[in-house]
Chains A and B, each alone.
Chain A
């Protein structure tokens, strides 16, 4: 087991596209580290560089104490799980699992023992004698995980392993992966574009955009105080409301008159945007104390909660998360007020968190 250090990683393809602009990561030993970002943000390229499947243009990668820049993938002592599973189609599950071990040249008895162990861990018993095309997507992915396990690598690299599974199975596998990682205590780098996956799995999350790291933090840090407008828009469903505000009389005030508690140390003379989570707003009866007049544009009844889209006369419509007991009809006149703690505030021009 080992930590992974990535410093000043840069990857430019011969055709001129820059996949990774500048990435620094310090992944701790035994950590489940998630790289999150939209497609084309460089997360997969970074992972492939760690795996050795891509050679970075510049920058260093260390696994444990070893500088692995010039090591081929096989010598980096890592295992990777792919989105398309990549099980060898001509081999039975048993042989797929044994394949990397045989390639290493382990003695037969040991190979059998390790395969049995991984199969038990991933509950693959009945599938051992099937070929990949006779396995369902979920089963294939379990086999792929087991194939990564048998090698007892220093680190697992996961490239969107759950993307091809249906929603229910994905939730199950998520739990399974998290449990497994906790059990083994092996460092895991997990790439995904699904923020729910990132939030539920990661010890820490790195949000990447356009080949750069926008923010690194625990799921709660990332959720509560996104480091940039990009992160604010990317994390959370529905996403954070971005309200243009100005500082007046010691309060933050939106164009509609909506008042927010200002964080300390706000810069003056700059255009500011406050990021307010949907659950930090409240839809009230019209005229309730501290509320501004607003109108319900639409309501999404999700069962355990209601998402109101509210027009408060101040630019973009806002999304408000309310318990299902509070019911307002569409088009009803309502009040809107801020109930949460101090919001995150961003500079419009730099798009970064200022307070």
Chain B
């Protein structure tokens, strides 16, 4: 990776039109880039690596000074503790993980089912004050959730949604619908409306045309959008901690946070719970990684 000055200069004049100094500047810059990126990667990845290490260390190794990077005994006890309570019954953490799965899953499905047809309608039809409506929808995402958490807490207390999974599902769906509409509108715009026109001329109704021809082409976009919505709901902390209190309803983020703050903190358990919590998101992001980056590319359409 390291390039000496002599090497770069000698390669310069022979059949290469770029002046040697410039060439070295280019190399020098790319070396700098690599170094900076490496530093950044270490800073970003170290906490994650340390979390994984801590989750498989025994407690005395966790507290060892100087810290043990490599020569510790590997144990899976913490992971067992995440799921199984001391008496052999289900742990509170495992219940909260299940709650997270239910809340994130249902709210994502709800947001997708509502948001995709809305996005289609906004993309295809001339709607009165369409731009204003779309701006309004987007504007609901402008403020940080914490701003509205108190009013929502009061409203939820009135209607009895405090400390219920349904309450969390609804609020997450409400946050994800605008996001879904905006993401999906872009994807729908990419699919030529002519498919639906052609299908309608071939005897389908507008909804059938959407269902049979546009929707299949939207699936990659829907997958990408749904994963984003899922990650939002899965990671959400503020609403979860304000609107739920009992162990049977609570989702994983506040449950994990609740492990910290007693007289002693079982860091091994915290780390193991965090690893378990992070895994589904990583898996999903990996599954749709191509769509997250590239969006939809439809080979069939030449514009």
Question: Do chains A and B stick together as partners?
Answer: yes
User: A residues engaging B (CB < 8 A)?
Assistant: 13-17, 48, 51-53, 72-74, 78-80, 82-90, 99-100, 103-104, 131-133, 137, 140, 164
Q: A51-B201, A73-B201, A99-B202 are in contact. Are A15 and B301 (CB under 8 A)?
A: no
User: B residues engaging A (CB < 8 A)?
Assistant: 126-130, 192, 194-195, 197-198, 200-205, 213, 216-217, 298-303
Q: A15-B126, A15-B130, A140-B302 are in contact. Are A86 and B200 (CB under 8 A)?
A: no
Q: A84-B192, A131-B300, A140-B302 are in contact. Are A15 and B197 (CB under 8 A)?
A: no
- Tell whether, in the assembled complex, residue A86 and residue B194 are in contact, meaning their CB atoms are under 8 Å apart: yes
- Tell whether, in the assembled complex, residue A74 and residue B126 are in contact, meaning their CB atoms are under 8 Å apart: no
Of the listed residues A73, A85, A99, the one surrounded by the most CB atoms of chain B closer than 10 A to its CB is A73
- Tell whether, in the assembled complex, residue B300 and residue A103 are in contact, meaning their CB atoms are under 8 Å apart: no
Closest to A82 in B: B194
**A89: chain B residues within 8 A (beta carbon):** 217, 298-301
Rounded to whole angstroms, the CA-CA distance of A133 and B299 in the bound complex is 6
- Tell whether, in the assembled complex, residue A80 and residue B127 are in contact, meaning their CB atoms are under 8 Å apart: no
- Tell whether, in the assembled complex, residue A103 and residue B192 are in contact, meaning their CB atoms are under 8 Å apart: no
Q: DSSP class of A's interface residues: helix, strand, loop or mixed?
A: loop
- Tell whether, in the assembled complex, residue B301 and residue A84 are in contact, meaning their CB atoms are under 8 Å apart: yes
Of the listed residues B128, B129, B195, B216, the one surrounded by the most CB atoms of chain A closer than 10 A to its CB is B195
- Tell whether, in the assembled complex, residue B202 and residue A100 are in contact, meaning their CB atoms are under 8 Å apart: yes
- Tell whether, in the assembled complex, residue A53 and residue B200 are in contact, meaning their CB atoms are under 8 Å apart: yes
Closest to A90 in B: B216
- Tell whether, in the assembled complex, residue A88 and residue B213 are in contact, meaning their CB atoms are under 8 Å apart: yes
Rounded to whole angstroms, the CA-CA distance of A83 and B195 in the bound complex is 11
- Tell whether, in the assembled complex, residue A74 and residue B204 are in contact, meaning their CB atoms are under 8 Å apart: yes
**A133: chain B residues within 8 A (beta carbon):** 299-300
Rounded to whole angstroms, the CA-CA distance of A283 and B178 in the bound complex is 66
Partner of B203, one of A83, A88, A100: A100
Rounded to whole angstroms, the CA-CA distance of A88 and B202 in the bound complex is 12
Q: Tally inter-chain residue pairs, CB-CB below 8 A.
A: 75
Closest A-B pairs by Cβ, 6 of them? A89-B300, A86-B194, A74-B203, A13-B126, A133-B299, A86-B198
Q: DSSP class of B's interface residues: helix, strand, loop or mixed?
A: loop
**A13: chain B residues within 8 A (beta carbon):** 126
Q: A13-B126, A89-B217 are in contact. Are A80 and B198 (CB under 8 A)?
A: yes
Closest to B299 in A: A133
Q: A13-B126, A90-B216 are in contact. Are A74 and B198 (CB under 8 A)?
A: no
Rounded to whole angstroms, the CA-CA distance of A99 and B128 in the bound complex is 35
Residue contacts A-B, CB under 8 angstroms, 17 given:
A13-B126, A14-B126, A72-B205, A74-B200, A74-B201, A74-B202, A80-B198, A82-B192, A82-B197, A84-B303, A86-B192, A87-B300, A88-B195, A99-B202, A100-B203, A132-B300, A137-B302
Partner of A103, one of B127, B204, B213, B301: B204
**B301: chain A residues within 8 A (beta carbon):** 84, 89
**A104: chain B residues within 8 A (beta carbon):** 203
**B298: chain A residues within 8 A (beta carbon):** 89
- Tell whether, in the assembled complex, residue A80 and residue B197 are in contact, meaning their CB atoms are under 8 Å apart: yes
**B302: chain A residues within 8 A (beta carbon):** 84, 137, 140, 164
Rounded to whole angstroms, the CA-CA distance of A15 and B127 in the bound complex is 6
Q: What is the CB-to-nearest-CB distance from B214 to chain A, in angstroms, rounded to a whole number?
A: 11
Closest to A13 in B: B126
Q: What is the CB-to-nearest-CB distance from A62 to chain B, in angstroms, rounded to a whole number?
A: 18
User: Given A51-B201, A103-B202, list of 9 further CB < 8 A pairs?
Assistant: A51-B197, A74-B203, A74-B204, A88-B213, A89-B298, A100-B203, A103-B204, A131-B300, A133-B299
**B216: chain A residues within 8 A (beta carbon):** 90
Q: What is the CB-to-nearest-CB distance from B97 to chain A, in angstroms, rounded to a whole number?
A: 39
**A79: chain B residues within 8 A (beta carbon):** 201
**A80: chain B residues within 8 A (beta carbon):** 197-198, 201
Closest to B302 in A: A137
Rounded to whole angstroms, the CA-CA distance of A87 and B128 in the bound complex is 31
Q: What is the CB-to-nearest-CB distance from A74 to chain B, in angstroms, rounded to a whole number?
A: 4
Q: What is the CB-to-nearest-CB distance from B198 to chain A, in angstroms, rounded to a whole number?
A: 4
Rounded to whole angstroms, the CA-CA distance of A86 and B197 in the bound complex is 8
**B201: chain A residues within 8 A (beta carbon):** 51, 53, 73-74, 78-80, 100
Rounded to whole angstroms, the CA-CA distance of A52 and B198 in the bound complex is 11
**A84: chain B residues within 8 A (beta carbon):** 192, 194, 301-303
**A131: chain B residues within 8 A (beta carbon):** 300
Rounded to whole angstroms, the CA-CA distance of A86 and B129 in the bound complex is 29
- Tell whether, in the assembled complex, residue B129 and residue A15 are in contact, meaning their CB atoms are under 8 Å apart: yes
Closest to A75 in B: B203
**A74: chain B residues within 8 A (beta carbon):** 200-204
Of the listed residues A17, A84, A104, the one surrounded by the most CB atoms of chain B closer than 10 A to its CB is A84
**B127: chain A residues within 8 A (beta carbon):** 14-15
**B192: chain A residues within 8 A (beta carbon):** 82, 84, 86
Closest to B217 in A: A89
Rounded to whole angstroms, the CA-CA distance of A48 and B198 in the bound complex is 11
**B213: chain A residues within 8 A (beta carbon):** 88
Q: What is the CB-to-nearest-CB distance from A92 to chain B, in angstroms, rounded to a whole number?
A: 12
- Tell whether, in the assembled complex, residue B203 and residue A86 are in contact, meaning their CB atoms are under 8 Å apart: no
Q: A73-B200, A79-B201, A82-B198 are in contact. Are A17 and B126 (CB under 8 A)?
A: yes
**B217: chain A residues within 8 A (beta carbon):** 89
Of the listed residues B128, B130, B194, the one surrounded by the most CB atoms of chain A closer than 10 A to its CB is B194
- Tell whether, in the assembled complex, residue B128 and residue A103 are in contact, meaning their CB atoms are under 8 Å apart: no
Rounded to whole angstroms, the CA-CA distance of A78 and B198 in the bound complex is 11
Rounded to whole angstroms, the CA-CA distance of A133 and B217 in the bound complex is 14
**B299: chain A residues within 8 A (beta carbon):** 89, 133
Closest to A101 in B: B202
**A73: chain B residues within 8 A (beta carbon):** 197, 200-201
**B130: chain A residues within 8 A (beta carbon):** 15
Rounded to whole angstroms, the CA-CA distance of A284 and B203 in the bound complex is 63
